[in-house]
Amino acid sequence: MKFPTMEQTYFRKGFGLKKELRPLIDAEYQSALVERIRSRGYTDSFGDITVRLAQEFGFCYGVDRAVDYAYETVHKFPDRPIHLVGEIIHNPHVNSRMTEMGISFIYPQSDGMFDFSALTPEDVVILPAFGVTLHDFDELKSIGCVLVDTTCGSVLHVWKRVENYAKDGFTAVIHGKYTHEESRATASQVNKFEGGKYIIVRDMAEGGLLFDYIAKRPGHLGREAFIEHFAAKASPGFDPDRDLALVGVANQTTMLAKESLAIGWKVHEAMVEHFGEEHASTHFRSFGTICSATQERQDAVAEMMDAPPEVMLVIGGYNSSNTNHLAHLCRQHTTTFHVEDASCIDVDTGEIRHKPEIDPTTPEVIASDWIPEGSFTLGITAGASTPNNKIGEAVLRILEIRGIDASLETQKGQPA
């Protein structure tokens, strides 16, 4: 029996169907209303509502590419079972559309592991934009199924840094959420080299435990307490006294860029404090692994907040890290509502379902009378996994609640 080669079962560059499928994808995900607002300098008026769009929002290149490849896969293999490892991106509308196209989802078990035992070489498996762990990739490869890899290039850039850290004996300190698919996949890259180590810190507060331990500051966690705290967030057998001697910093690409940079600086500062500048210069590494799209969307929101709108609407999945961080930035300046989808805005009641905190476990709450009386400015941004049609739909729902006929406003706004 002749087995297929990796060249025959592994695809990372699509199938050459982008031009053919682009009209279909644009029809499903684009919005004429959003394009109108964008064409008018990202600001437009509808009745007594001024709508301001952030100058960078919505689908990034990596997400666009992942969605394209999913559509191409369905058209390339119409008669074969197609599966997704987890969600292709963190957007409920897009993932629902994948289901409608006949793609089935393989979700992780309670321990975060995937069960691929039902797959056969006849199956086609799409790897999400976040990537998969080395263990999962090797298992899928061993099954012999067709793999369509949509892992984002920015994520691969981080993986390469982490791989190099492990190669040179440095422990990877990763700023990220240890349960997030991307952070798990990134951390797994250390396993390419024997003895590779990693530790994941969620934010500056948790990073403080790490900084204090490295610097041996008064009151720092004891060795056993440190190991216990990071047990699920570090490589097996992690020993802080041994494994924090050589450190390289990386990050989950969708985290707050400024916080990632600050964590890196604090690690360096702690090493200097305890060992001295000369030691730190050879025992600490940090490279620019901030995703440009994440940075651009955060910068665009920061620019909007120089003159914040009365109400800010942030659209994107509640489990989307980059969307949560955009909402967090906005809440520091103005009244902000983070909605998972345009459907969270109820036209009949005028209410809005939204998530009030960055913690993904925080339940939705319902707000009424959230739209100000009289003229006001509505700011809008969206996470990198949110398609334009859902942004446009959200605007239309708000206008309808206010009694503004968007169709007439749009017609009135067209050039003569």
Written as one string, the DSSP assignment of 340-354 is: SSGGGB-TTT--EEE
pLDDT of residue 91: 86
- Between CA 126 and CA 115 the distance in angstroms is 15
| Whether residue 158 sits in one domain with residue 143 | no
Question: How many domains, the chain?
Answer: 3
Instruction: Answer positive or negative: Cα dihedral of 58, 60, 62, 68.
Output: positive
| Whether residue 147 sits in one domain with residue 34 | no
- Between CA 333 and CA 311 the distance in angstroms is 10
- DSSP E strands in 281-392: the ranges are 284-286, 311-315, 335-339, 352-354, 365-367, 376-382
| Whether residue 197 sits in one domain with residue 178 | yes
- In a domain, residue 7? The reply is no
pLDDT digits (tens, 9 = 90+) for 31-89: 999 999 999 999 999 999 999 999 999 888 899 999 999 999 999 999 999 999 998 88
Mean pLDDT of 118-138: 96
Q: Which candidate in 56, 181, 182, 393 is catalytic?
A: 182
- Between CA 208 and CA 236 the distance in angstroms is 22
With 0-12 CB in 10 A as exposed, 13-18 as middle and 19+ as buried, what is 161?
buried
Label residue 288 by pLDDT band (50, 70, 90): confident
Which residues are 173's β-sheet partners?
Answer: 199, 249
pLDDT digits (tens, 9 = 90+) for 292-338: 888 899 999 999 999 999 999 999 999 888 899 999 999 999 999 99
Label residue 395 by pLDDT band (50, 70, 90): very high
| Whether residue 121 sits in one domain with residue 215 | no
pLDDT of residue 1: 37
- In a domain, residue 18? The reply is no
Considering the entire predicted model, what is its pTM?
0.87
Per the CB < 8 A criterion, the answer to whether 389 and 356 are in contact is no
More confident residue, 394 or 112: 394
Mean pLDDT of 260-286: 94
| Whether residue 367 sits in one domain with residue 267 | no
Largest CA distance in the chain: 74
Mean pLDDT of 97-118: 92
Tell me: pLDDT of 358 over 90.
no
The rounded mean pLDDT for the chain is 92
Structural domain of 219: 154-290
More confident residue, 375 or 319: 375
Looking at 275, 290, 305, the residue that finishes a domain is: 290
35 is catalytic: no
| Whether residue 336 sits in one domain with residue 391 | yes
pLDDT of residue 339: 97
Label residue 221 by pLDDT band (50, 70, 90): very high
CATH of the domain at 286: 3.40.1010.20
pLDDT digits (tens, 9 = 90+) for 136-153: 999 999 999 999 999 999
| Whether residue 316 sits in one domain with residue 255 | no
| Whether residue 197 sits in one domain with residue 313 | no
CATH of the domain at 139: 3.40.50.11270
- In a domain, residue 20? The reply is no
Within its chain, how far is the Cα of 33 from the centroid?
Answer: 25
| Whether residue 242 sits in one domain with residue 176 | yes
Tell me: pLDDT of 162 over 90.
yes
pLDDT digits (tens, 9 = 90+) for 165-211: 999 999 999 999 999 999 999 999 999 999 999 999 999 999 999 99
- Between CA 169 and CA 54 the distance in angstroms is 42
In our burial notation (b when 16+ CB lie closer than 10 A, e otherwise), range 330-341 reads bbebebbbbbbb
| Whether residue 408 sits in one domain with residue 327 | yes
| Whether residue 328 sits in one domain with residue 214 | no
Residue 359 CB neighbour total at 10 angstroms: 10
pLDDT of residue 109: 86
Label residue 409 by pLDDT band (50, 70, 90): low
